[in-house]
């Protein structure tokens, strides 16, 4: 159960070796040095054994989970006193079997869903970075969290901004007082690239994010702006607003993290440098605040803040996400899984950048949405989407994948 404010907090970090996981541990380190009692009691990753061993030693963590069974032996050998679980459900078992109060959900992709849902069932405070959880299973996860007293604290910078602007009461009367939510977006790596050069861009190009330093999947999702579409779905479930009251806007400086427009015309925004440690800390210390370890805003840069709507021709992924959200049921789970597969295929140089959104659209058209009432149905839809994309890629499309940056011998 969730700790009272005086009890030391016991945190599991899921996806501890990734960009958000590493930043979360650095914030925990900072908070502990500043007197906030917080114990890290569990860590989960896919296969980054060396990083896990270092983290387990640094934070004296005994409970570890790895999705890749082949990584378990070396982990156990290096940490003989640790309890190591391995396999695709290891992160979920870690959450179910470890005494904890807080779970940082920072696994990338639908892989993070079962463990996050388990945390919701157990009534924990959930520091939610894994947006795919709410995209694939928003209704199920929010219903489960509310039935069990679990708190969903957004870590995504845009949702953290909205959460802070709504003063932490997102599901209270705000639905009547909020006119719309405006999610800011950097526009990703191809924001200023001539549109006819985008379809065949390389992974190296797409991974050059203009402002944020993130994991590969979310960086590619920023280049397509699928990321913003997924965040629109995430915001819908977190804040309970209809899709047409949640809108994206390009803001190249990434300093304003989102806006809330109220019905009386007032607008609240939250600002800060593009540094994920700040929203991570805001969630970890919520509802209080303490001195932060993230970068501080340079006010002289505020002389140049720009905003403009995304061009649908450059970023067709956004409309596709609205479409999936309106279809409802398992459609967003299909969208998300198809996107994960397509992004990986692009990173593996099997498809061109321009095929990512087309493949997602094809999968969405091919798989009929079902009511998303339970985890099994959602995961079935997820698997069906993966099979659909994989089959389409194997069948070939006649469109060449992008060229490698290195000339082949
Ligand atoms: N990075 C950001 O600034 C940012 C901002 C907002 C939201 N988010 C969201 O936060 C999540 C994490 O993003 P990220 O950028 O931190 O990703 P990342 O750097 O790619 O890290 C992913 C983490 O998930 C682990 N993982 C992957 N598959 C797993 C599995 N099947 N079981 C257990 N662990 C698994 C990885 O372990 P290995 O290291 O062993 O592969 C790694 O620890 C994503 O949902 C993303 O959309 C990220």
Ligand 1 pocket member 160 (CB < 6 A): no
Calculate how far, in angstroms, residue 24's C-alpha sits from the geometric centre of ligand 1.
12
Calculate how far, in angstroms, residue 274's C-alpha sits from the geometric centre of ligand 1.
18
- What does the pLDDT read at residue 175? 65
Ligand 1 pocket member 158 (CB < 6 A): no
- What does the pLDDT read at residue 279? 97
Calculate how far, in angstroms, residue 187's C-alpha sits from the geometric centre of ligand 1.
21
Which of ligand 1's atoms lies nearest the C-alpha of 218? 47
Which of ligand 1's atoms lies nearest the C-alpha of 111? 31
- What does the pLDDT read at residue 234? 98
- What does the pLDDT read at residue 404? 41
* Entry pTM: 0.94
Whether 306 contacts 252, CB under 8 Å: yes
Which of ligand 1's atoms lies nearest the C-alpha of 47? 40
pLDDT tens track for 26-59: 999 999 999 988 999 999 999 999 999 999 999 9
Three-state DSSP at 85 gives strand
Which of ligand 1's atoms lies nearest the C-alpha of 21? 16
Calculate how far, in angstroms, residue 239's C-alpha sits from the geometric centre of ligand 1.
23
Peptide bond just before 287 cis, omega within 30 deg: yes
- What does the pLDDT read at residue 180? 95
pLDDT tens track for 150-159: 999 999 999 9
Domains defined along the chain, listed by start: 9-155 (3.40.50.720), 171-272+297-395 (1.10.1740.10)
- What does the pLDDT read at residue 301? 67
From 64, 106, 211, mutation site for ligand 1 pocket: most ligand atoms within 8 A of C-beta: 106
Nearest to 385 by CA among 323, 332, 344, 308: 332
Whether 155 contacts 129, CB under 8 Å: yes
Query: Going by DSSP bridges, is the β-strand pair 267-271/256-262 parallel, antiparallel, or unpaired?
Result: antiparallel
Residues of the chain with pLDDT under 50: 1-3, 173, 398-400, 402-409
CB burial of residue 224 (10 Å; 0-12, 13-18, 19+)? buried
- What does the pLDDT read at residue 298? 85
């Amino acid at each position: 159960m969730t700790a009272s404010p005086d009890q030391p907090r016991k945190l599991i970090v899921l996806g501890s070796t990734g960009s958000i996981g590493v930043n979360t541990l650095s914030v925990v380190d900072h908070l502990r040095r500043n007197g906030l009692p917080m114990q890290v009691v569990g860590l989960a990753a896919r296969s980054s054994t060396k990083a896990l061993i270092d983290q387990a030693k640094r934070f004296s963590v005994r409970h570890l989970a790895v999705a890749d069974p082949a990584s378990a032996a070396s982990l156990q050998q290096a940490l003989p006193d640790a309890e190591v679980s391995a396999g695709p459900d290891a992160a979920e078992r870690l959450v179910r079997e470890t005494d904890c109060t807080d779970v940082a959900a920072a696994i990338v992709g639908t892989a993070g869903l079962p463990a996050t849902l388990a945390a919701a069932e157990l009534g924990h405070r959930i520091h939610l970075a894994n947006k795919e959880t709410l995209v694939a299973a928003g209704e199920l996860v929010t219903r489960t969290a509310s039935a069990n007293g679990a708190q969903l604290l957004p870590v995504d910078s845009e949702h953290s901004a909205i959460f802070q602007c709504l003063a932490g009461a997102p599901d209270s009367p705000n639905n009547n007082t909020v006119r719309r939510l405006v999610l800011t977006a950097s526009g990703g790596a191809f924001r200023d690239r001539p549109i006819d050069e985008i379809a065949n861009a390389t992974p190296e190009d797409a991974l050059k994010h203009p402002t944020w330093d993130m994991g590969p999947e979310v960086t590619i999702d920023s280049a397509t702006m699928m990321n913003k579409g997924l965040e629109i779905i995430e915001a819908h479930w977190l804040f309970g607003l209809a899709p047409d009251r949640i809108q994206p806007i390009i803001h190249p400086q990434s300093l304003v993290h989102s806006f809330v427009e109220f019905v009386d015309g007032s607008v609240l925004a939250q600002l800060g440098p593009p540094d994920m440690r700040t929203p991570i800390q805001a969630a970890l210390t919520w509802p209080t605040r303490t001195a932060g370890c993230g970068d501080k805003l340079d006010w002289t840069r505020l002389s140049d803040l720009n905003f403009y709507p995304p061009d649908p021709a450059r970023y067709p992924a956004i409309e596709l996400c609205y479409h999936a959200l309106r279809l409802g049921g398992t459609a967003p789970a299909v969208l998300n899984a198809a996107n994960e597969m397509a992004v990986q295929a692009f990173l593996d140089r099997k498809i061109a950048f321009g095929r990512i959104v087309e493949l997602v659209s094809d999968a969405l058209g091919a798989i009929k949405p079902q009511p998303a009432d339970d985890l099994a149905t959602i995961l079935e839809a997820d698997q069906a989407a993966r099979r659909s994309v994989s089959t389409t890629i194997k069948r070939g499309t006649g469109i060449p994948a992008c060229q490698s940056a290195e000339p082949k011998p």
